Chain A
């Protein structure tokens, strides 16, 4: 335990009664006293505050001073339109490999004179290394190790943040602004990982506790642990890197085509030019052999990650696999995601999941499972 890293909020978590768990090398709150179910439902009805300071925050600065140079350089690593990203706007992206697999998923923001990138905790060293080795001729790649990151999520997140920074109400989904919160210069995006409206707030480390404390002091805000973070994102149909997407999963198999803009596809002005482009662009036309789908059960028994899926009740060979599964507190029913052959990916297709030796009927379901609360 002693070699686990701690975020700026570690002693706050402990004082709030959190049960801590090791996650990506950090000692993080799994849940607080009220538990996963209540934390999840509170986030859906009011506002939840998540410490996500373990994630990697990176500044990518063009040596030329021209943001277009950084954007074009970044486009050699992601199949996403970075050059077309306006100042103060953010976009979902993923690093790909030569086989078209996903090395990590990330958020990219155009901050005017640099790109601001947020990557997964478990991948951050590799991502910095990847960006340094590919971009160093044109860019300075600077990990921002002196900044904390909080996510404030839920329909009342905007009210809670507006009490401290009223301008946040002017932002729409995927806008990014520098806001002064409790005297600290914060980088705030209107985005998140819960399927609800909300914000992610990057804070200078020396101000982290003041900002976190001021947000928690808002009546609608409760602290939320990683347990509810997982059930919230799964109901919202969002991928967890390492579970639902990985280095052997292409964006097309992962049903993430929406994140690849026209300009990077065949016939686009900046088509291809990223690792695995040939495979991924071909799959955009002809599909991938397998596809990520939502899975709903007929009974109350949850189907968990790694549960095998079968086409027929008595088949010997499995056709697919569950990659994430929880009991969805908002649906009061099990929800899962997994991969099936593309011919079986249509919503409504009946399959069977083997749980503790029994074949349970399940159905392919549309994602997300809930209505998204984004303020577009």
Chain B
């Protein structure tokens, strides 16, 4: 199940663990990424907390925790080579995995059609 937030993150749910990344639209807006800062494993975040930071030549942008939960995995590969996020944002460019406090709230997020409408695509 692929879901989206208004802040241009995508969430893929597997059991109670959500893999989170940023959308292709977000990478187009940000441009070439040069640095990605990922959260520490074990960090507990509330929805809307800053979970990661992605930086282009000109600017730093926060990536928010899409829901409440605990960080249980990070993609060290994009920490090393941030351009991986631009190349494959919905695949090998994922950022972090969160064990969700309440899986049921994922339902309320946008599906792909709703997200496309949100970005005017």
The distance from the CB of A44 to the nearest CB of chain B, in whole angstroms, is 13
Nearest B-chain residue to A227, judged by Cβ:
B58
A37 touches B37 (CB 8 A): no
A327 touches B56 (CB 8 A): yes
Measured CA separation A356–B60 after assembly (Å): 11
Q: Which chain B residues border A356 with CB–CB below 8 Å?
A: 37, 50, 53
B55 touches A301 (CB 8 A): yes
Given A36-B56, A227-B58; A327-B34 close (CB under 8 Å): yes
Given A356-B37, A356-B53; A302-B32 close (CB under 8 Å): no
B57 touches A326 (CB 8 A): yes
Given A301-B37, A302-B35; A36-B58 close (CB under 8 Å): yes
Give how many B residues have a beta carbon under 8 Å from the other chain's beta carbons: 13
Q: Which chain B residues border A228 with CB–CB below 8 Å?
A: 57
B53 touches A327 (CB 8 A): no
B60 touches A37 (CB 8 A): no
A327 touches B35 (CB 8 A): yes
A153 at the interface (CB under 8 A from B): no
B57 touches A37 (CB 8 A): yes
B31 at the interface (CB under 8 A from A): yes
Measured CA separation A37–B59 after assembly (Å): 12
A321-341: contact bitstring with B at CB < 8 Å (1 yes, 0 no)?
Answer: 000001101000010000000
Q: Using a CB-CB cutoff of 8 Å, which residues 26-60 of chain B contact chain A?
A: 31-32, 34-35, 37, 50, 53, 55-60
A96 at the interface (CB under 8 A from B): no
Give how many A residues have a beta carbon under 8 Å from the other chain's beta carbons: 19
Q: Which chain A residues border B35 with CB–CB below 8 Å?
A: 300-302, 327, 334
Q: Which chain B residues border A334 with CB–CB below 8 Å?
A: 35
A230 at the interface (CB under 8 A from B): yes
Q: Using a CB-CB cutoff of 8 Å, which residues 93-120 of chain B contact chain A?
A: none
A7 at the interface (CB under 8 A from B): no
Nearest A-chain residue to B82, judged by Cβ:
A300
Between A and B, 6 residue pairs with Cβ closer than 8 Å are A37-B32, A37-B34, A38-B32, A227-B57, A300-B35, A327-B35
Interface residue ranges, B against A (CB under 8 Å): 31-32, 34-35, 37, 50, 53, 55-60
Interface residue ranges, A against B (CB under 8 Å): 31, 35-38, 40, 227-228, 230-231, 300-302, 304, 326-327, 329, 334, 356
